[in-house]
Chain A
Amino acid sequence: MDLRFTDAQPTAEERRVVERATGIPDSESHDRVRTDSNLRIFRTGRRSVVNRRHLLLPALETVQSEIGWVSEGALMHICRVLSVPPAEAWGVATFYSLISVDPSPPQVWHICDDIVCRRQGALDLIDRFESGELQPPDSRWAPSPCLGQCDRTPAAYIQRAGKDDMVVVGPDTARLNGLSPDRHSPNGRPQPPPIPQFGQPHLRLLRRVGAVDPGSIDSYLAAGGYQALEAAVRMGRARVVAEVKASGLRGRGGAAFPAWIKWETVANSPEPVRYLICNADESEPGTFKDRVLMEDDPFSVVEAMTITGFAIGARRGYLYIRGEYPLATKRLSRALQEARRQGLLGEDADTGVDFDIEIRRGQGAYICGEETALMNSIEGLRGEPRNKPPFPTVSGLFGKPTVINNVETLCNVLDIVTEGGDAFAQLGTAQSTGPKLFCLSGAVKRPGVYEVEFGATLGELIDLAGGLPDGLHLRAVLLGGAAGSFVLPDLLSMPLTFEAASEAGVSLGSGVIMPFDQHTDFGDILTRIAEFFRDETCGQCVPCRVGTVRLEEALARLRRQPRPGDKDLIAEIDLAMRDASICGLGHTAAIALRSALDLGLL
């Protein structure tokens, strides 16, 4: 590799930050200062280069969060330290919406204007920012896609240079001067339990949420924590995989793929180096269940990952969490430290399980929730999905067999191990086993995460959330998020199972249930969805890169002055995107729009 850097030099602070982020002593990078004698650094073999490339995103992310932006000097310094070609590092830095390559004030407000927030105060808030009425000192602001706070709208995520990022929600968002620098909103006031079903006896996934102190491993242990890991070690690897197989557990991220197939394939792989990834890049608009689990029961996530790593024979797990979840990140980091200190995690853990976990923060890219894009992101490449096959179970992270499951999926493993796969399979229906979390938001009285057994109907879930606010009646429900579809009230009696959804031609997606009332401007909602996909497509393949733009344009015409055939055109675009796009983003980008057109919502 032939590397050439520009003359730009980092500041002393940027040097320190990069040193901390990469763990590579600054002294080692001095020989990489460009002089006439080493204008071009030539290296044979890519080993050392590949070894450091995966530190690119953490380095960029740390500089961004400490300094507030990534200067040319910082970028060049990172490239020197990690032996990354500057053009490629530039390509990575400009891929993420939370990384700024332009000078930026210390505070950047990302104000959610997505489907739920925009109907619940966000547009007004943005007006007030736009007019200058609201002006946090030393800040700039930008609209943001869904921040996963749909149960406490409107929400904003604030990047703060040199300080912890934070999220502000609800009325606090507009009360700028109420911000305290170190605390998570809402500040100081007693907080209601994070879930409406708090204390109910049927809870499994949510049973510890609000009941244990998320910062204390003792509290977790007292609530039965780590009994599952103990049981798993007793049972042995093969049995754990067998129990997961017996449980019928299917992925909760959207694709509903049987978890055991991934586990078994990797567990039986001849390749000794394997990886586990916990996909915590929860970014589907309307989805916030994984956030609740991570914020209020972080040790469960850590324990579930440890059991999974043990079962599939992985020594290292990555937890890839979206950057917009600072509280969850903080609590998980702390949970990892605590677990290591207690001998429950790490190379020489007392449990005998040689497994450790590293947290990687996403930097604002919905596409990185796609499993292979996520792997590329960890590897320091652009978050572009890979073509499959090969599947991650064969060639995943760093080309090694990899199991990747989302947070909710993994958390189910605790009960599967302690109670047995058969007992788990008794819950729910034959093809949709176990408990399921649903994210209720929009036109409901009590938005939040709700846990039910598979088989509860759509209407029952909406009733659990208190039904629609008084005076409103149900017009339609967006099921499964922006990548899901609209359904009419005639489907209220549909059981929310994979099989019933599939029969109705819809998808449960990530468990989003978003009711809309009779006053809804669906054109506005659909436009936001179209904008979302256009903003979030990686741009790699033609059908998705251009298709999302053409969809947005066709929808704009439909709302104003349709050309003849515009509806057919949307159907044609949709078909090509479903058939020819590389990944699920392109496959699903037009589903909500088409369902709304079919149902006459527009």
Chain B
Amino acid sequence: MDQPDTAKVATEMVQVTIDGASVAVQKGATLLEACQQMGTEIPTLCYLETLTPVNVCRVCVVEVERNRTLVPACSRMAEDGMVVSTDSERVRHSRKMVLEFLGSSVDLSLAEDEVGDWMERYGADPARYGPVSAPAAAGERDARKPGHHHHVNGETAEGVHQPTKVDNTLYIRDYSRCILCYKCVEACGIDAQGTYAIAVAGRGFDARISTEMDLPLGDGACVFCGNCIGVCPTGALMFRSEWELRRADLWDPQAQSVTRTVCSYCGVGCNLELHTQDNRIVKVTSPQDHEVTSGHLCIKGRFGYDYVQNLGDVEQNSIDEVLQAARRRSPK
């Protein structure tokens, strides 16, 4: 990726100062890219190289001189002469608050590991907002009307907790874990799959990822490519197999291995990463930096692996029962 390239050398460069050090980046590069070039780490949640930046999580904000507000590094273009601070008091405060806001309203227990590190680094304390409110009943959040909400008393911190949506055998949607980063919407729609089966619905704190009329996935436009799962940073979207194993307390990443292979269904050459535990495939991903897939697959590559492990023909093991449970439409 970083090989010298004559076209690049000829590109116009802009000079920016980041935390006191000067760096030249290509015109059109974002501040995030400039920071990465310098080795300065910027936390991101809604950003992914393969998706259009939506700059909504605001955890990547940095301070740019002569800007009234902080700016999102993920999407703000570097301009010549910009003076950027990535670790100022204001930056640290906003990052802390964003992490607290998310931590106090969303279940982040399965979020990417860095989130916990950032919480520590910025001194985020989600618990100071009080205990999270009781989970909503199934479907209640999906039925909320824009412009209206119930009075609050401040005793609890309102959260997005609700029952997991389990309406098919391939993957589940646990919106208690959803930080509304829009990644799944982009992967489903404009940036990868072109299916547009999900979108953000509702407004304000009641905004949520939804199919039309909150239909079960199988009744809408979903083609079960699983690309939304591939980009979800918090475990809100998850293979049904992984979810069932976690429920049974049998999910064991230590005991898993990842095998890279090429999908055998067609000639495109998508690379697959088969995650196996106890010699069973429990999840399939694709490397994000793979030039064919950019991490995206179709239903066959993502979910069509049962033929290599027909459970009837081999010796049963401890997780088979759970994996078989995942084949049932409704969970127990």
**Residues of chain A whose beta carbon lies under 8 Å from any beta carbon of chain B:** 1-4, 6, 72, 75, 85-91, 94-97, 101, 142-145, 364-365, 382, 387, 389, 531, 534-543, 545-550, 552-557, 560, 563, 569, 572-573, 575-576, 578-582, 587
Q: Does B44 contact A (CB under 8 A)?
A: no
Residues 160-210 of B at the A interface (beta carbon under 8 Å): 179-180, 189, 193-207, 210
**Residues of chain B whose beta carbon lies under 8 Å from any beta carbon of chain A:** 55-59, 61, 69-70, 72, 75-77, 90, 93-94, 96-98, 101-102, 104-105, 128-130, 145-149, 151-158, 179-180, 189, 193-207, 210-213, 215, 219-221, 223
The 3 tightest CB contacts between A and B, nearest first, are A97-B147, A85-B196, A539-B207
A367 to B102 Cα, complex, angstroms: 22
Nearest CB on B from A30, distance (A): 21
Contacts of B196 in A (CB 8 A): 1-3, 85, 87-88
CB pair B153 A85 closer than 8 Å: no
Report the nearest A residue to B197, measured CB to CB: A87
A90-B147 contact, Cβ under 8 Å, with A85-B221, A553-B129: no
Report the nearest B residue to A569, measured CB to CB: B128
CB pair A87 B211 closer than 8 Å: yes
Nearest CB on B from A590, distance (A): 12
CB pair A543 B101 closer than 8 Å: yes
A581 to B97 Cα, complex, angstroms: 11
A578 to B153 Cα, complex, angstroms: 25
CB pair A387 B57 closer than 8 Å: no
CB pair A542 B56 closer than 8 Å: yes
CB pair B213 A72 closer than 8 Å: yes
A101 to B213 Cα, complex, angstroms: 9
CB pair A6 B205 closer than 8 Å: no
Contacts of B98 in A (CB 8 A): 542-543, 576, 580
Nearest CB on A from B198, distance (A): 5
CB pair B70 A580 closer than 8 Å: yes
A554 to B129 Cα, complex, angstroms: 9
A549-B61 contact, Cβ under 8 Å, with A87-B196, A539-B205, A579-B94: no
A576 to B199 Cα, complex, angstroms: 27
Contacts of B220 in A (CB 8 A): 4, 6, 86-87
**CB within 8 Å: A-B pair count:** 208
Report the nearest B residue to A533, measured CB to CB: B204
Report the nearest B residue to A85, measured CB to CB: B196
Contacts of B70 in A (CB 8 A): 579-580
CB pair A546 B105 closer than 8 Å: yes
Interface centre among B57, B75, B206, B212 (most CB of A within 10 A): B212
A576 to B100 Cα, complex, angstroms: 11
CB pair B56 A540 closer than 8 Å: yes
A572-B199 contact, Cβ under 8 Å, with A72-B213, A89-B212, A542-B58: no
6 pairs, CB–CB < 8 Å, chain A vs chain B = A86-B221, A87-B196, A364-B147, A535-B149, A580-B58, A580-B94
Report the nearest B residue to A7, measured CB to CB: B219
CB pair B101 A581 closer than 8 Å: no
Nearest CB on B from A91, distance (A): 4
Contacts of A560 in B (CB 8 A): 153-154
A87-B212 contact, Cβ under 8 Å, with A540-B207, A560-B154: yes
A553-B154 contact, Cβ under 8 Å, with A365-B146, A572-B93: yes
CB pair A576 B145 closer than 8 Å: no
A275 to B193 Cα, complex, angstroms: 33
CB pair B102 A546 closer than 8 Å: yes
Query: Quick one: which of A90, A142, A549, A563 contacts B210, CB cutoff 8 A?
Result: A90
Query: Quick one: which of A85, A144, A573 contacts B97, CB cutoff 8 A?
Result: A573
Nearest CB on B from A593, distance (A): 14
A2-B195 contact, Cβ under 8 Å, with A542-B57, A548-B205, A580-B94: yes
Query: Quick one: which of B130, B195, B205 contacts A549, CB cutoff 8 A?
Result: B205
CB pair B55 A546 closer than 8 Å: no
Contacts of A142 in B (CB 8 A): 148
CB pair B221 A4 closer than 8 Å: yes
CB pair A535 B148 closer than 8 Å: yes
Contacts of B93 in A (CB 8 A): 572, 575-576, 579
Query: Quick one: which of A86, A96, A563 contacts B212, CB cutoff 8 A?
Result: A86
CB pair B69 A587 closer than 8 Å: yes
CB pair B221 A572 closer than 8 Å: no
Contacts of A94 in B (CB 8 A): 146, 201-203, 210
Interface centre among A87, A545, A552 (most CB of B within 10 A): A87
Nearest CB on A from B174, distance (A): 19
CB pair B199 A88 closer than 8 Å: yes
A87-B210 contact, Cβ under 8 Å, with A539-B202, A572-B93, A579-B70: yes
Contacts of B194 in A (CB 8 A): 1-2
Query: Quick one: which of A90, A382, A550 contacts B101, CB cutoff 8 A?
Result: A550
CB pair B158 A543 closer than 8 Å: no
CB pair A538 B94 closer than 8 Å: no
Contacts of A4 in B (CB 8 A): 197, 220-221
Report the nearest B residue to A363, measured CB to CB: B146
Report the nearest A residue to B158, measured CB to CB: A549
A90-B199 contact, Cβ under 8 Å, with A365-B146, A535-B149, A543-B58: yes
Nearest CB on B from A70, distance (A): 11
CB pair A548 B204 closer than 8 Å: yes
Contacts of A535 in B (CB 8 A): 146-149, 204
